[in-house]
Each structure stands twice: as C-alpha cells, then as structure tokens.
Chains A and B, each alone.
Chain A
Amino acid sequence: MTGLLEPKAIGTDLRRRDGALKVTGAARYAYEAPVDNAAYAHPVQATIGRGRVTSVDTAAAEALDGVIAVLTHENAERLASTEDAELAVLQSGDVAFRGQVIALVVAETSETARHAADLVTVHYDEQEHDCVLDPDGELYKPDKVNPAFETDTAVGDVAGAMASADVTVEQTYTTAMYHNNPLEPHATTALWQPAGDGGDLTLWDSTQGVHPARSTVAEVFGLAEDQVRVVCPYVGGGFGSKGTPHAHVILAAAAARAVPGRPVKLALTRPQMFALAGYRTPTIQRMQLAANRDGVLSAIAIDVVEQTSRIKEFAEQTGVPTRTMYRAPNRRTTHRLAALDVPVPSWMRAPGECPGMFGPEVAMDELAEALGIDPVELRIRNEPEVDPDTGHPFSSRNLVACLREGAARFGWDERDPRPGVRLRDGWLIGTGVASSVYPVHQMPQSTATIRCEDGRYVVEIGAADLGTGTWTTLAQIAADALAVPVADVQVCIGDTAYPMASVAGGSSGMITWGSAVVEAAHAFREKFGDDPADGDEAEGSVSENPMAERYAMYAFGAQFAEAHVNADTGEIRVPRLLGVFAAGRIVNPRTARSQFQGGMTMGLSMALHETSVMDPRFGHVVNHDLAEYHVATNADVADLQAHWLDEHDDKVNPMGVKGIGEIGIVGTAAAVANAVHHATGVRVRDLPITLDKLLPHLP
C-alpha cells in the first residue's frame, strides 16, 4: 500500500455537522418520518415461556373505535422466507420465548392501538420452559462463533503447563445479561404503495445499515431489492441492537402491506425492547493462567459457556481476544452454548471483546498479585512479538506504549500495591488497570459516488451515523482525498437511494466507507482532473486489503480506574477513569473522544450497574425499564479521560484508521474490578460489582 492520505481536514476537531439539527429538534428520526395520515401499530406479546397459541380472540379489540386491523398468525401475510426464525413473525402459533410477538394491532392512533392490544385475549397450550444458563446443563459446540471464528483453538499442553508452573491462576468469572438500551427505541415507519411493478415498500427505520436492512426485508417478503427503500439519516444510538433488523421491522412492513397506501408507525416500548431487540448473552469464563516466578506466561486458557435462543443461534466470540493478547506457548480457547427458551441474543458493543476481556484481565491482576509483580509490568513482560494466534506480525501494536503512557498520566508509579490499606474520609481507595483490544474490521463491500455540483463535491454513500459522527468525518476524509477544503464537501448518507454501504458494526464504518470514498475521490480526479465540470461524477468501491492476509491488525488500549468504596455501606464510586488508546489515525478528535468516553462509560456501567434479571419462573427480564435496569448516569461519571497515541499504520487502509466505536468498552469492567480489589482486598469475579458483594468483607 502506498503512503497514507496527507491529513489536512483529517485530524481537525470539526463540530458535528448535524449537531444544530439535533439540538433544535429539526433532525427527524424514524418514528418522526414526514408522512401524512399515519396509522399506528402495537404488538401483543406472549405471556408464556414456551408453547403454542391455541386461540386468539380479537373481537373486543376489533370492536374498538379506531382499530383498523388485528394481525395474528391466522390472518397475517405468509412470508416468502422464514429461514430466520426471529423474523418469521405471525407465521405460526408457536411460542419460543416469553415476549415473542403473537399479534399486532393497527389503529388510527397509538393510544388506540395500545388499548386494543390489551383487549386481545390469547389462549395457550403451555409447555415447560428453560431459561437458566447452567454450565453443568446441556451444552453444545457451535460450528463457528460470531461472525466466523473457529469455535475452539488449542496449542500445546495447558494442563501440563498448569501442573509444572511456579504460579497458577484458575478461576471462574461471569458477566451478566445486558441489554443495549439505546435512548431512541427501535422504531419503523413503513409505507407500501401497491402501484408500479408489483409495489414499493419504503421503510424509515432506525438502523445501523440501510442496505443490509433492505436486503433482509426484501428476502423475507420476496421482493426485489429495488422495490424496497430504507431511509435513516439519524440514529439515536444502536450499540449493535440496530445492526440487524429485528421482528418489529417485519411487523411494521407487514402492517403497511395490510393497509396499502397508508404509512404505519411502530415504536417498541422500553419493556418490549428487552424481549425483541437483541441483547448480550451472560457469560461464564473459566480461566487458567500459568507463569514462572518472573511472570512469564507458560499457559493461557479460557473456556466459555454462554446462551443462545433455541430458535436462532448467536454464539458470542468471548474467547477470541485471549487468542491474541499475550504470548504463551500453551494455549486453549473454547466456546459452548446452551440453547434456551429465551429471546434471541445478538450484537452488543464489542461482542466477544467486551465480555471476553473481563475474565482474562482480572485473572492477570490476580496473577500479578500472586507474583508480587506490578500489573502493568506483568502485561509488558508477556507482550508477544507476533500474533500468537496466526503467527503474523502486527501491522502495529502499541499496547505497551498505551500502558506506559496511561501509567504516567494516571500517576501509577506512586501506587502502593497492598490491597485494602488506604482509608480516607470513610472511603477505601484503590486503583486498577486492564488492557483493551479491538480488531480492525473491513467489510467486503461499500461504494461511494462523488459528483461536482456548483463547484462543490457531493459524496453519496448509504452509510450510517449512530451519533458517531459519520456526517462530519466522511466529509473530512473526502476533503483530504480530493485535496479540497472540507467546506467544499457535502456528504449524503442514510438512504438506499445512495450507493451500497455496509453495516455500522465491528467498528468498521470509517475503515470501509472511508476507503470507498477515497477510491471514489481517486477515480474522480483521474477522470476529471483538478478542474471538473458540473455534473462530473465518479464511483469508487472498497477493495480487499492484501495486507490483511499478511498482518494481524488490531487497535489496543490501556484503562486505569480509581475506585472508592464506602467503608460503612460498601457503596462504590469511580471518581477517575483514564484510557489511552492506539487506534491508528484519529479522523476527528472531538467525535473520537466522544466515542472513547462513551465506550468507557458503558464499561463502567457494566462494571457496577447493568444486569438484566431473568426470572426463570416466567422466562422474561423483570427489570425491563430504565428505572430498574441501571445504566451509569452523569453522577456516576466523574473525571473521565480518553487519550490516544499518534499511531502511524500504513497497512490498514489509505486513511490509516483502525475504528474506535467499540474499543472503549473493552477492559473497562476489569480495570474497575481490579481497582475495587485494590481498595478493599475483595476479589469480585461476578459482575456487576454491587455493595452486597463487598459488605461481608468490610471492616
């Protein structure tokens, strides 16, 4: 690959181009799509954990003034494809989990739809359900883990190394069930216009990818892709839960097809989102570490148990980061799944890396303590020269630099390693560290066009902005690729009317869409030179990066946390959280800082607050709203700092970027857990860390 783009607009902290629209309320979200005469849909959910609907009595609902239709499995349209069981809505009376949609009311107002949904009476043939993740229960080995990693890997003899090592750590760690909980609920406005060649479906959907959503919907309904348009200029957060269409998108489209010519709006309520919009599986991680007295690892192993739904597999790749982090001659990673009568799990910010860097990074802290070696130093001593998994060199790997820079900024060198000895004003004080990692993902397809209009450059690509800054950062990339001022670039995204773009997932957006924009810019200049005429247009697509076969490509980071634990009550506060990241070139420091800090806040939230409480008697998450499912609030976040190294990597892509949307959440929970241990001497291995787990051990 030739040299990187010369950064002019790249690296400047431009304000968000969509900022004013958002703070003034002028930005329209999916539910606010500008349509006339909308009808409103509200789902009816199953109240059993498993079984069959024997009858649905819709008479009372249909009798209600303003009710247009009640769709059930008996009268709903037969879908062309039911291959994806999550999307095969209203196709049979089978109930696979509590909260599954078994009917849909369409009415003149949202209030009427909701009222009518309450009036639908359902009778069931109920069967016993199983919603408990039990590591000793029935488990199976999936063929692959998300998206296509080997399920198990093994090198050498872990058991032998454990038996002969100077020091070992063998512990089990657990992470909870988590729900993505974007502030904007999952919402779709759908319009079916039967005229034309078989009809057209327009979806204003809150999605992380308009083109992937279109493909899915077209397949489910048996439509040609050009019969479906998906529009989504703005997203109020997704965190992976809007990366694939869930049942409500199909429901909205089916409702629209039942009332042709009339737009239908459907927004999930917050409790509905806990059953219908994906979530992160709970994980059970058995860790083994073996080391000599100098802290050099001879073995590292992680055996993961997690859940999926009985009707659709999602295998979170929790063991995968352990394959790459540290050098050790003997290595093992495994994944086993329990298929349960639970809602369908899916992507949540850094699937794999986020939960999968909790157990290993706490285990490293336990090993450091057992050896009497500083935890920063222990990580440095186990830095690999090449990727332990593939044997390839790293395109760039600056974990050690992140650890050292973070330690210096945090004041780590003054740290007294003894746990539980610092009491100030009634609070026990401690500090902890953990590493972060996230792979460089480039999606195989994305295309951009660039057109000259009135002397300006219009860039079109169906990319998404989840609040991440795409409206702004793609303009910066285009400006530098065209060698023009960023003010001369207009970006158009979020619509399948623009060229095909991949999903905003795997922190791949800037890498993939940015590469397409750079290709389009090069094609444009090649074709039209530096003085183009109005209407000149060129197209470019991302192409496979040959370096990806020869190099391991990852972003790394180090996170430092200070924890205060109230000596009377066990209340936990984290007054300081500091991350240093090496993630290639940073396109926009302002939006990048927001990404890192958002990820770290979500990691803090995972450490202390978040847990979806599944009641096995009923089969649903009972704390299914934001009053009961706690996420970190402003008061929980104090001195939160994200820094980054100036990392030059000319192998990853022409911009030199690695993707930053997810790495901020990776390792945070371990850093906090390690800090809580340093504060109190109590090792909490099960998230979240709550005061009841500390109380019995406080003085």
Chain B
Amino acid sequence: MKPFAYQAPTTASDAVRQVADDPDAVFLGGGTNLVDHLKLGVARPGALVDVTSLTSAEITERDGGLLIGAGVRNSDLAADPRVRERYPLVAQALLSGASGQLRNMATTGGNPLQRTRCVYFQDVTTPCNKREPGSGCSAIGGYTRYHAILGASEHCVATHPSDLAVALTALDATVHLLGPDGERTVAFGQLHRLPGDRPDKDTVLDHGDLITAIGLPDLPMARRSTYRKVRDRASYAFALVSVAAAVDLDGDAIRDTRIAFGGVAHKPWCATRAEDALRGQTAGVDAFRAAAEAELADAAPLEGIDGGNAFKIPLLTRTLVAVLRELTGVNR
C-alpha cells in the first residue's frame, strides 16, 4: 500500500476544493470499496479527503419525494419507514447487498460510486485497461461469470456491482452534486457510463465533484416495486443478474413500468426497450417474455475459461418474467 495523506476538512466546499486542486486526491466516504483498493494497490491516491461528516445524514421530504443526504448510511436508508413504504425496491436492493457490517459503514453517496468489479481489475499483476489504460483486458477470454452481456466494449467487460444503483436507475432518481463550479444535478441514469474506449472512467463526474444528496421522485407506482437479486449463494455475493422494477397497473393493463437490470453491464442498465414493449400491454407471461427479449436482443455474451456467461440471457429473461408475474399478480 502506497502511503497517503489524510485530510479532514470541515465543510463540503473545502473538501471539493481540496480534491479539485489536487489530481492525486480522492474523497473518502464509508471506505468499503476504496480501502480494499488501497490495500490491493488498485487505488494509489496521494491524499484522502474525508467527507463522511460533511454532507447530510438526513432523509427529508422534498417535492412529494424524498431527499437522501449523501451521508446517510445504507443500513439507515434501508430501515427508513418512508423508504420501505413508498420505495420498497430501494430497501430491498440495499438489504440484498454486502453484509450488515458493510451496510453500517457504506454511504448513500459512496455506494453508487463503487468501482466496477472484475477479478482482473483487482489483481495488479494482470493487465487491465481500467487500471492501466492500454494494457489490455484480461477478462476477455478469462473468468467471465460476473461480467457483462450488454454495452461492453473490446476494452472492458466489467459490471457495476451496486444494488442500490440499479434501484435508483429504475426510479430515475436525481443526483445532487457540488463541484468546483458550484451545485448541479444529474439524472441518475446518466451518472454511470459504458466503458467504450475509456473504461478508466466509471461515471460522468469530474474530478472534485461530490455527491451531496440523492433525490427520489414522487412516483406512486414505486409502492408496487421490487428488487430481485439472483446470486451464487444466499447472501454476501454479487449479482449474477438483478432486476429492479415498478409497475403501474390499470386492471390487467400495464399503464407504465420502470425496469433496470444489474450484473449485466458496466452501468446499472435502464431497460427502456422492455419498458416500451410493456407500456399499454395486457399483463401476461408472453408479454413479459417479449419485453425481456426486446431488451436483450443486442446482448453479447462472453466466452471464458469457466464456460462463459451466455447463461445470463435466459437467466435474466426468466428473472424479469418472474418479477413481473409477482408485481402484477398475473401468472399466465
């Protein structure tokens, strides 16, 4: 581990300035991802700027929705009665992730900014374009069980590990930022990026941008929502695939729906094609399956030393169908 300086400014704007002024500085939140990367030598910053107490740790009513301070711990967010009642998919996503100890540390602002996950990214002895641009991608042709089937590039096939981010993508939440030039907002679905030829960049944030809060919209259909995570053991595992979904039903007719996928792309995957395919349809298993197939038409599974990840296509199809059956109560 490379030695680093630890800085604890007293205001968020000071923190932003300290990071913006030092290309070698990074923010420290709950540290549940960054500290691992420091130990592994994956992250080698010169300075950590602690922001854990510089943003709000409150959840407040805002415009019919909720404003979640970036400092709210994952465990507190999952336990909030308003979140559980009005946005059950958020609570479920949080509780399906990590462990109790990690959720007690991890913050709302930090969770979506976890780096994408890949065993080769985490192993400094193997080439990785994300860690060392231009060195190559070891995952292609390697261990691909947890890797992407959507939106990958020849430079990177890693997936984003956050469960919360999938739920926030489905809800079309709002990211509140404080940057060197002041405050601004970004739609949650625009926060993360596909790897393209710059897999070193996971998000659209600039150096020094600090997430101060996440806004959940006034979205009544979110009361009928869920998060389904499919994984290799019952807890404490990353998603093979996951589905966050909400449905607005009028009888058997689907008035509107929100769907996002996890475990399949470099970013939480907003399933707009599936949403479009379902809107206005009568709920039914054939329609659910057709929606999944529409979304996965361009899926490109990977071969690999472990048999590859083509299984994710039928797995995600079946999982989406099961989730929509559950949310609509329609089993035919």
Q: Which A residues lie at the B interface, using CB under 8 A?
A: 45, 47, 111, 114-115, 118, 271, 426, 568-571, 573, 608-609, 613, 615-618, 620, 622-625, 627-628, 630, 632-636, 690-692, 695-696, 698
Other-chain contact of A628, B119, B126, B235 (Cβ < 8 Å): B119
Chain B 182-237 interface residues, beta-carbon cutoff 8 Å to A: 230-237
B19 contacts A by Cβ under 8 Å: no
Other-chain contact of A115, B1, B230, B311 (Cβ < 8 Å): B1
Other-chain contact of A630, B141, B232, B306, B311 (Cβ < 8 Å): B232
Q: A613-B143, A630-B232, A692-B315 are in contact. Are A569 and B322 (CB under 8 A)?
A: yes
Q: A569-B319, A635-B236 are in contact. Are A622 and B119 (CB under 8 A)?
A: yes
Q: List 17 A-B contacts (CB under 8 A).
A: A47-B125, A115-B2, A115-B3, A118-B1, A571-B231, A609-B233, A618-B138, A622-B119, A624-B123, A632-B233, A634-B235, A691-B230, A691-B311, A692-B315, A695-B311, A695-B315, A695-B318
| Assembled-state Cα–Cα distance A47/B126 (Å) | 9
Other-chain contact of A613, B231, B234, B238, B305 (Cβ < 8 Å): B305
| Assembled-state Cα–Cα distance A569/B322 (Å) | 9
Other-chain contact of B1, A111, A615, A628 (Cβ < 8 Å): A111
Tell me if A's interface is mostly helix, strand, loop or mixed.
Answer: loop
| Identity of the chain A residue whose Cβ is nearest the Cβ of B142 in the assembled complex | A615
**Contact between B305 and A635, CB atoms less than 8 A apart:** no
B96 to chain A, nearest CB (A): 11
Interface string of B282-325 (1 = CB under 8 A from A): 00000000000000000000000111000100110011011000
Complex contacts, A622 vs chain B, CB 8 Å: 119-120, 123, 126, 142-143
**Contact between B2 and A118, CB atoms less than 8 A apart:** yes
Complex contacts, B141 vs chain A, CB 8 Å: 617
Chain B 1-59 interface residues, beta-carbon cutoff 8 Å to A: 1-3, 41
B330 to chain A, nearest CB (A): 15
B94 contacts A by Cβ under 8 Å: no
Interface centre among A616, A627, A633 (most CB of B within 10 A): A627
| Identity of the chain B residue whose Cβ is nearest the Cβ of A622 in the assembled complex | B119
Complex contacts, B123 vs chain A, CB 8 Å: 271, 622, 624
Q: What 4 A-B pairs are tightest by C-beta distance, nearest first?
A: A692-B311, A635-B234, A635-B235, A568-B322
**Contact between A623 and B315, CB atoms less than 8 A apart:** no
Q: A615-B142, A692-B311 are in contact. Are A623 and B119 (CB under 8 A)?
A: yes
Q: A111-B3, A568-B319, A622-B123 are in contact. Are A695 and B314 (CB under 8 A)?
A: yes
Chain B 236-251 interface residues, beta-carbon cutoff 8 Å to A: 236-238, 240
| Assembled-state Cα–Cα distance A624/B120 (Å) | 11
**Contact between A633 and B315, CB atoms less than 8 A apart:** no
**Contact between B237 and A630, CB atoms less than 8 A apart:** yes
**Contact between B126 and A618, CB atoms less than 8 A apart:** yes
**Contact between B314 and A633, CB atoms less than 8 A apart:** no
Interface centre among A609, A692, A696 (most CB of B within 10 A): A692
Other-chain contact of A636, B234, B305, B319, B321 (Cβ < 8 Å): B234
| Assembled-state Cα–Cα distance A617/B236 (Å) | 29
B177 to chain A, nearest CB (A): 30
Complex contacts, B238 vs chain A, CB 8 Å: 627
**Contact between A633 and B232, CB atoms less than 8 A apart:** no
Interface string of B99-137 (1 = CB under 8 A from A): 000000000000000000001101101100000000000
Complex contacts, A608 vs chain B, CB 8 Å: 233
Complex contacts, B138 vs chain A, CB 8 Å: 615, 617-618
| Assembled-state Cα–Cα distance A458/B131 (Å) | 59
A342 to chain B, nearest CB (A): 15
Q: A692-B307, A695-B314 are in contact. Are A569 and B230 (CB under 8 A)?
A: yes
| Assembled-state Cα–Cα distance A635/B95 (Å) | 13
**Contact between B314 and A573, CB atoms less than 8 A apart:** no
Complex contacts, A47 vs chain B, CB 8 Å: 125
Given contacts A115-B3, A617-B141, A630-B232, 7 further A-B contacts (CB under 8 A): A115-B2, A573-B234, A622-B120, A630-B237, A691-B230, A692-B307, A695-B315
Complex contacts, B305 vs chain A, CB 8 Å: 613, 615-617
Complex contacts, A636 vs chain B, CB 8 Å: 233-235
A558 to chain B, nearest CB (A): 26
Complex contacts, B126 vs chain A, CB 8 Å: 618, 622
| Assembled-state Cα–Cα distance A45/B321 (Å) | 48
**Contact between B233 and A568, CB atoms less than 8 A apart:** no
Other-chain contact of A623, B143, B233, B236, B318 (Cβ < 8 Å): B143
Complex contacts, A573 vs chain B, CB 8 Å: 234
| Assembled-state Cα–Cα distance A548/B315 (Å) | 54
B308 to chain A, nearest CB (A): 9
| Identity of the chain A residue whose Cβ is nearest the Cβ of B310 in the assembled complex | A692
| Assembled-state Cα–Cα distance A691/B240 (Å) | 10
Complex contacts, B230 vs chain A, CB 8 Å: 569, 571, 691
Complex contacts, B314 vs chain A, CB 8 Å: 695-696
| Identity of the chain A residue whose Cβ is nearest the Cβ of B241 in the assembled complex | A569
Complex contacts, A45 vs chain B, CB 8 Å: 125
| Assembled-state Cα–Cα distance A292/B122 (Å) | 55
**Contact between A613 and B306, CB atoms less than 8 A apart:** yes
Complex contacts, A632 vs chain B, CB 8 Å: 233
**Contact between A609 and B232, CB atoms less than 8 A apart:** yes
| Assembled-state Cα–Cα distance A235/B321 (Å) | 49
| Assembled-state Cα–Cα distance A280/B172 (Å) | 48
A119 to chain B, nearest CB (A): 9
A208 to chain B, nearest CB (A): 28
**Contact between B119 and A635, CB atoms less than 8 A apart:** no
**Contact between B315 and A570, CB atoms less than 8 A apart:** yes
Q: A613-B306, A622-B142 are in contact. Are A630 and B233 (CB under 8 A)?
A: yes
Complex contacts, A634 vs chain B, CB 8 Å: 235
| Assembled-state Cα–Cα distance A326/B172 (Å) | 63
| Identity of the chain A residue whose Cβ is nearest the Cβ of B308 in the assembled complex | A692
**Contact between A617 and B234, CB atoms less than 8 A apart:** no
Other-chain contact of B315, A115, A617, A691 (Cβ < 8 Å): A691
A199 to chain B, nearest CB (A): 34
Complex contacts, B119 vs chain A, CB 8 Å: 622-624, 628
Interface string of B135-160 (1 = CB under 8 A from A): 00010011100000000000000000
Complex contacts, B233 vs chain A, CB 8 Å: 608-609, 630, 632-633, 635-636
**Contact between A569 and B318, CB atoms less than 8 A apart:** yes
| Assembled-state Cα–Cα distance A111/B4 (Å) | 12
Complex contacts, A627 vs chain B, CB 8 Å: 238
**Contact between B240 and A617, CB atoms less than 8 A apart:** no
| Assembled-state Cα–Cα distance A553/B30 (Å) | 56
**Contact between B142 and A617, CB atoms less than 8 A apart:** yes
A666 to chain B, nearest CB (A): 22
Complex contacts, B120 vs chain A, CB 8 Å: 622
Complex contacts, A118 vs chain B, CB 8 Å: 1-2, 41
**Contact between B235 and A633, CB atoms less than 8 A apart:** yes
| Assembled-state Cα–Cα distance A426/B322 (Å) | 10
Complex contacts, B234 vs chain A, CB 8 Å: 573, 633, 635-636
| Assembled-state Cα–Cα distance A255/B240 (Å) | 44
| Assembled-state Cα–Cα distance A634/B230 (Å) | 17
Complex contacts, A615 vs chain B, CB 8 Å: 138, 142-143, 305
Complex contacts, A695 vs chain B, CB 8 Å: 311, 314-315, 318
| Identity of the chain B residue whose Cβ is nearest the Cβ of A119 in the assembled complex | B2
A487 to chain B, nearest CB (A): 39
B36 to chain A, nearest CB (A): 9
| Identity of the chain A residue whose Cβ is nearest the Cβ of B235 in the assembled complex | A635
B132 to chain A, nearest CB (A): 14
Complex contacts, B315 vs chain A, CB 8 Å: 569-570, 691-692, 695
| Assembled-state Cα–Cα distance A45/B307 (Å) | 29
| Identity of the chain A residue whose Cβ is nearest the Cβ of B125 in the assembled complex | A47
Complex contacts, B143 vs chain A, CB 8 Å: 613, 615, 622-623
Complex contacts, B237 vs chain A, CB 8 Å: 630
Interface centre among A613, A617, A618, A622 (most CB of B within 10 A): A622
